[in-house]
């Protein structure tokens, strides 16, 4: 089982942490008076972080979290969660400051150099391999996959943070050309790969949504556990970042964040 290392704390992040501490110590009368609006977008193919609800609205863990943050902190508003972007475009817009943050992505060396990670992580995901239902293969460790050689191609969503982590293991054959999970399921069923690599929570519901619960089976071994974070663009002012992080920490400390995530398991 593989765990992602904690993000490296930069000087900027130390300054942000100090600003957060000052916010926590400040009296209520000194709270931010003006409304701070933070812009984001929903990530495509990312259930249960973002789900399409009846009537075409977007819900899920992140949207529920945003509404709870707004309820707890009147000075904070989050906009854009009803618009959807692919992960790569979402990351690009945050890097360039066109959006403020991404909700719920894993750690990678590339992301550490481009974003500010908010603490705490919002939830932890477990990554599994899935195969065609008629495939009798059993996998208990990465060595089992490596031993399959060209018969062990792993399909993974384009832009996933897990790509770099799998590459770091070494000896695995990875195909990250699929734009989303449906594209990779199609490739799996056409025998253009042996495995699909995806995360739970989300894997089971995604297969059901695409009507593939009987054609694709998720292998029971947890191949990796990794925390998912909220990532901000690096030019965010310490004050804005501290207001957001302080509100997130309050929800975590009260148990509301854990209860929200449990609802989607």
Q: Which of 27-41, 62-76, 100-114 has the highest mean pLDDT?
A: 62-76
Alpha-carbon distance of 42 to 33, in angstroms, equals 28
Rounded to the nearest 5°, which phi and psi values hold at 205?
-70, -35
More confident residue, 164 or 5: 164
Write the DSSP assignment of 125-149 as a string of letters.
Answer: EEEEEEEETT-----SSHHHHHTTG
Rounded to the nearest 5°, which phi and psi values hold at 22?
-65, -40
More confident residue, 219 or 19: 219
Quickly state the pLDDT bin for 265 (edges 50, 70, 90): confident
What residues contact residue 89 under an 8 Å CB cut-off, 6+ apart? none
Q: Which domains does the chain have, with CATH numbers?
A: 2-123+227-262 (3.40.190.10), 125-225 (3.40.190.10)
Quickly state the pLDDT bin for 32 (edges 50, 70, 90): very low
- Give tens-digit pLDDT for 153-201: 999 999 888 998 999 999 999 999 998 899 999 999 999 999 999 999 8
Quickly state the pLDDT bin for 17 (edges 50, 70, 90): low
Number of Cβ within 10 Å of residue 249's Cβ equals 17
* Residue 207, pLDDT above cutoff 50: yes
Query: In this structure, are strands 195-200 and 42-43 parallel, antiparallel, or unpaired?
Result: unpaired
Q: Give SS3 for 116.
A: strand
Tell me what pLDDT residue 16 has.
54
- Give tens-digit pLDDT for 191-205: 999 999 999 988 998
Share of the chain above pLDDT 90, in %: 75
Tell me what pLDDT residue 15 has.
52
When the pLDDT of each residue in the chain is averaged and rounded to a whole number, the result is 89
């Amino acid at each position: 089982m593989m765990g992602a290392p904690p993000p490296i704390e930069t000087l900027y992040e130390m300054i942000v942490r100090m600003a957060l501490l000052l916010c926590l110590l400040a009296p209520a009368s000194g709270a931010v008076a003006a409304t701070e609006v933070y812009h984001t977008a929903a990530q495509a193919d990312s259930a249960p972080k973002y789900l399409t609800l009846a009537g075409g609205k977007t819900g899920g863990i992140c949207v529920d979290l945003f509404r709870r943050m707004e309820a707890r902190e009147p000075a904070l508003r989050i906009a854009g969660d009803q618009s959807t972007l692919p992960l790569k475009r979402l990351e690009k817009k945050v890097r360039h400051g066109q959006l403020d943050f991404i909700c719920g992505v894993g750690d990678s060396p590339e992301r550490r150099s481009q974003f500010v990670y908010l603490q705490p992580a919002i939830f932890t995901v477990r990554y599994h391999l899935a195969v065609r239902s008629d495939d009798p293969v059993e996998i208990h460790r990465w060595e089992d996959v490596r031993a399959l050689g060209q018969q062990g191609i792993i399909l993974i969503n384009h832009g996933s943070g897990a790509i770099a982590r799998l590459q770091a293991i070494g000896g695995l054959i990875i195909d990250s050309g699929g734009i989303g999970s449906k594209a990779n399921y199609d490739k799996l069923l056409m025998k253009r790969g042996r495995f699909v690599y995806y995360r739970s929570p989300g894997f089971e519901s995604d297969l059901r949504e695409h009507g593939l619960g009987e054609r694709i089976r998720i292998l029971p071994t947890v191949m990796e556990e990794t925390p998912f974070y909220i990532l901000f663009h690096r030019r965010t002012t310490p004050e804005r970042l501290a207001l957001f992080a302080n509100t997130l920490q309050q929800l975590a400390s009260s148990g509301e964040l854990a209860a929200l995530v449990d609802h989607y398991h």
